[in-house]
Structure formats: C-alpha cells, structure tokens
Chain A
Amino acid sequence: MKVTVTVNGSDVVADVADRTLLVHFVRDVAGLTGTNVGCDTTSCGACTVLLDGKSVKSCTVLAAQADGSAVTTVEGLADGPDDMHPVQRAFRAEHGLQCGFCTPGMVMAAVSLLAENPSPTEEDVRSGLEGNLCRCTGYHNIVRAVLAAAPDMKEGRTS
C-alpha cells in the first residue's frame, strides 16, 4: 500500500508491502540506517524511534500504521556532529556508549523519557529505560548521561 511518513521533517512516500515494519521503512525506504533491529520480540529497544513525539519500538509498528504520522530517528535529533542534542552530548560526555548498536534506540528512549519526566531520579531513569537493552555499558554511564541531560533539555533544546 502507499504510505506517507514524515521522517525527520521530510515526507517519505512509498508503495510498500502491507506487512512492512516501520523499522524497515525507516532503514530501507527512508535510507536511515541509524535505527537498528536487535530482537524479534519487542524486547530490546534498539529500534526505538519517536512516533508523533512518543517513543515506540519500530519493529512492532507497521509502516501502514504510521501512515500520515511523523517519525523522528536519531538522525533527526541533531543538525550535525557539532550541533548535538543535549541527550547526544551527554551520552558522549558521560561515555554512555561503547559499540553503539543500542545507542540510537537508547538515545530516543531517553529523549522521550525526559520529555515526559523532565526531572527524573536515578530510579526513574532506570525503570524508564527498562525496555532498552545494552550489552556493553552496564547502563551505569547511560543513566548518568540521561540525568546529566535533563537540565539542558529543560532549558529548551527538545527537538
């Protein structure tokens, strides 16, 4: 079916198979490979994007369901490596990533978390990220990064 999704501000229009998952629409149709697939069971969160502003696991949304909606991926957060979103900046400053595979999904989950809870406690962050697996960092620095990003994000830059 014909699907139109506004991805990072640009309309992406394509005729796709009905069963096309949003994550494959983003990767293969929109050509944005930052969003990764890490599991088959809606468990790992590597594919997390914002759908109309809220974090979703794009492996468990049909492209057809997102027709007419706006999707933000990790590529849509920053204008470039020198102008990163507060969450991206904090992930770098706090060493919140190692291999980088979970990172785009983790960052998007964190952006959504902070939008809903601008002043989270450590416990809020830990439970708020329970749907995102990371195998490298032990989460320690990811949690620190999200806590560190909170004040910056409140000040305005909320993409």
Chain B
Amino acid sequence: MIPATFTYKRAGSLEEALDLAARDGDEAKFLAGGHSLLPLMKLRLAVPEVLIDIGRLREFSYVRDEGGYVAVGALTTHDELSRSGVLASELPLLAHAASQVGDPQVRHRGTIGGSLVHADPAADLPAVILALDATMVARGPAGQREIGIGEFFRELFETALEPGELLTEIRIPKPRAAGWSFQKFTKRAIDWAIVGVAVQGGQVALVNMDQTPIRARGVERALADGAGPREAAAHAAEGSNPSDDINADRGYREHLARVLVGRALEESSSRA
C-alpha cells in the first residue's frame, strides 16, 4: 500500500520549515523519521497534502548535559537515545525505554520528537517524558515557547502545539531520586504496549491507560504518604480510563497497571 498523493517539501533550516508550514497551514505535516506518520499515510488514515521534511535538520539531533537538565533535540532517533552516554549516566530511564521502542529498524529512523508529537497513548516515550516532568520547547511563527509536559498531551493524537509550530527540544530535569524502572507489557516483543509504566523516583506515568499518557497520581500520593511499592500500586488504575481492544479490556488493563506499577516501584527502589 502507498500513501495518497502529496507534495514533498524539504526544509534546509528551521526557519524554512516554519515558513513552509505557515504557507501551507492545516494541509501540511512535518516529517521527521516518518515512523509514526508514513504508516498511517500508507493505510490512508492520514492524507496530508504537503509533507515538510525536517529530517535533515541534524542540528536538532543531540543529547546535551546542560547542568540542571538534559537537553534532547527533537530529531534524535530512538537508537541514538539508547546509545547516549549522557542519558546512560543521567537519565537511564529514557535510554532504556528508547531501546524498547519498536524494533531496530524503527529505532534507526524514529525520533523522540516524532513520537511525542504523534501523541499515541500506546507509545512508550510520551509516558517516559511525562514521568520525567520534562519541558517541551517549541518554535513557531510567534517565536519560541516552552510547554510543560503536563500540558502537552491534550487528547488522543493531539498536543498543545499550534498549527505550524515545531517541537525542537525536550528539556528533562535531572532527577532528584535515582531509582527508575520501565515496564512494558506486550503480547510479542514487537508489539505496542498493552500497558506500560515509567517510574522515576516518586513520579509514575502510564502507557495506554487513557486517551493520552497519564500520571498515576493515586500511586504518587500513596508513595508520598510513605506507602510501600505493592501498597502504592493498588492505586495504579485510579483516574485512568483505558479502552478495550483485541488484546485487553478495561478490567484487564487496570489489573495489569497494578501489577506492573508494583513491579516498577520495586525495581525502582532496588536502584535507588
């Protein structure tokens, strides 16, 4: 299967990308690695008229230690994240989770920015970034702005980015608590998570438990109140709204969330 016809435009710079986007408005989509967008286009579930290829803006592919935080360029691939020395020492949660995305070929092409902007609740990295309380840096016609990750995911496949706005950097504060864990429950290794859990210290986020990635606030409150891992995990499904699909119904997802959060918290405390 092949995408419906579109016009391909290649941006040589950030400014050009923004100009192109401004010109084509709602009809245009940015293309980074293309591993969220092109599969949808091949199934004709997405039919943009214009693709603006930002894949050559290599200046947005980096992982930098900025002292209080780690700056990750939006075009950094999953593979690069998984091999980053900075992440290995400062944010092993992100490096590890990136190594679990898709398969090797997908990790060679897919980017963290693409994954976040696509905002699929079943994707791994959005929940990880949510657990890490990152700040998203976006550039648009009106200049640069920062968006807290807590305000970034709006609805299913929808973010706080305005049309024509481009995610350029993810700023991740260095965690105060060292313990971390990433639990991904799948039928097959290659599958999207049926449920996933990202834990950094006392911050817990869930994959595929709602229309967007969500923080497990009930768990976090219980932890703050001194609960142990299993006790806190009992609150994992609170406030969630998981959907039914061929792999799991709501009740099973809620159960999995409790089991996986319990395991994640135990693993995390063993690393603390």
Contact = CB atoms under 8 A, between A and B. Distances in A.
A–B contact with Cβ pairs below 8 Å: the answer is: yes
A109 B103 CA distance: 10
Interface residues of A, number: 33
B37 to A, nearest CB: 10
Q: Which of B38, B53, B105, B188 counts the most A-chain CB atoms under 10 A from its CB?
A: B105
B254 to A, nearest CB: 28
A26 B123 CA distance: 30
Contacts of A62: 8, 31, 34, 38, 51, 53
Contacts, number: 86
Contact of B43 (A21, A41, A131): A41
Contact of B105 (A17, A19, A55, A64): A55
A40 B2 CA distance: 8
Contacts of A60: 34-35, 38-39, 42, 109
Given A54-B108, A56-B108, A130-B189, A64 B8 contact: yes
Interface of A: 1, 17-19, 21, 24, 40-43, 45, 48, 51, 54-57, 59-62, 64-65, 67, 109, 112-113, 116, 127-128, 130-132
Given A64-B10, A128-B104, 20 more contacts: A18-B5, A19-B4, A19-B5, A19-B6, A40-B43, A41-B43, A51-B108, A55-B105, A56-B108, A57-B106, A60-B38, A62-B8, A62-B34, A62-B53, A65-B53, A109-B104, A112-B105, A130-B190, A131-B103, A131-B104
12 contacts: A19-B4, A21-B2, A40-B42, A42-B35, A54-B79, A54-B108, A55-B104, A59-B42, A60-B109, A130-B104, A130-B188, A131-B190
